[in-house]
Chain A
């Protein structure tokens, strides 16, 4: 029988790897993939608690989070495409017009 804290530890490791990816990489698409990884690790936490508490609300949350992730992927990648059209680059350090 696996205790809940092992599942939560795996989720924490995946979340931290996602954070490292977002902070270190400069390619916009890879940063976006790291955000998906973080969302996924949070889903793992929600499902773990849902199963251990015997409460279905966590799985409903996961369902809604997946919907949000799909909508976010559609819009985010469209933003990346239009960003690439204007700048011919995916490096987020070059996308700094809004920076004061």
Chain B
């Protein structure tokens, strides 16, 4: 493996994303978790750029980091869990079992994807740069995929109605 720009970026981004994910699940304060999750989304967006999916990378920053995480942080501040910090987490033999199970899951997944696709592709496709642009994505989305697109609007409508019905009561 030779150390060109792509390799260096890939290694640093993936290490940073894994480290931030581990930090995210181990922080006590939900605000810290949310901030590490934002860092993780940022590094994954960098990985999208390495995969030449520019539009998806920008959408990741715009939608995930800009909107969804803001909502998470608002909810954490809305509920303000300072007063019940003491007895929120309890660890038992169940936690140990679930960690073991998750590591086994990682064994299966990692073995399959690492050895199953080793040398299957001779590098990235030549079309990779072309299909990552907004033009190509739009041309495909609004002609061949217009039905899922309309369904997405129904999903958003349902989410608007549901969020208002669930949250629109006097809070205090």
Direct A–B contact in the complex, CB atoms closer than 8 angstroms = yes
Choice from A11, A63, A91 contacting B88 with Cβ under 8 Å? A91
Judging by beta carbons under 8 Å apart, are B56 and A63 in contact?
yes
A81 part of interface (Cβ distance < 8 Å): yes
| Interface SS of chain B | helix
Judging by beta carbons under 8 Å apart, are B132 and A51 in contact?
yes
What's the minimum C-beta distance from B66 to chain A, rounded to whole angstroms? 11
Judging by beta carbons under 8 Å apart, are A90 and B152 in contact?
no
A95 part of interface (Cβ distance < 8 Å): no
What's the minimum C-beta distance from A4 to chain B, rounded to whole angstroms? 5
CA distance A35 to B67 in the complex (A): 16
Q: How many residues of A contact B (CB 8 A)?
A: 74
Choice from A3, A8, A11, A25 contacting B25 with Cβ under 8 Å? A25
Residue of B whose beta carbon sits closest to that of A24: B95
B82 part of interface (Cβ distance < 8 Å): no
Choice from B64, B75, B87, B124 contacting A29 with Cβ under 8 Å? B75
Judging by beta carbons under 8 Å apart, are A89 and B84 in contact?
yes
What's the minimum C-beta distance from B109 to chain A, rounded to whole angstroms? 4
- B48: chain A residues at CB < 8 Å are 44, 47
- B128: chain A residues at CB < 8 Å are 51-52, 54
- B90: chain A residues at CB < 8 Å are 26, 93
Interface residue ranges, A against B (CB under 8 Å): 1-21, 23-27, 29-30, 32-34, 36-37, 40-41, 43-44, 47-48, 50-57, 59-60, 62-64, 66-71, 73-75, 77-82, 84-85, 88-91, 93
- Nearest 8 A/B pairs, CB to CB: A54-B125, A23-B98, A16-B106, A8-B113, A21-B25, A78-B166, A71-B159, A54-B127
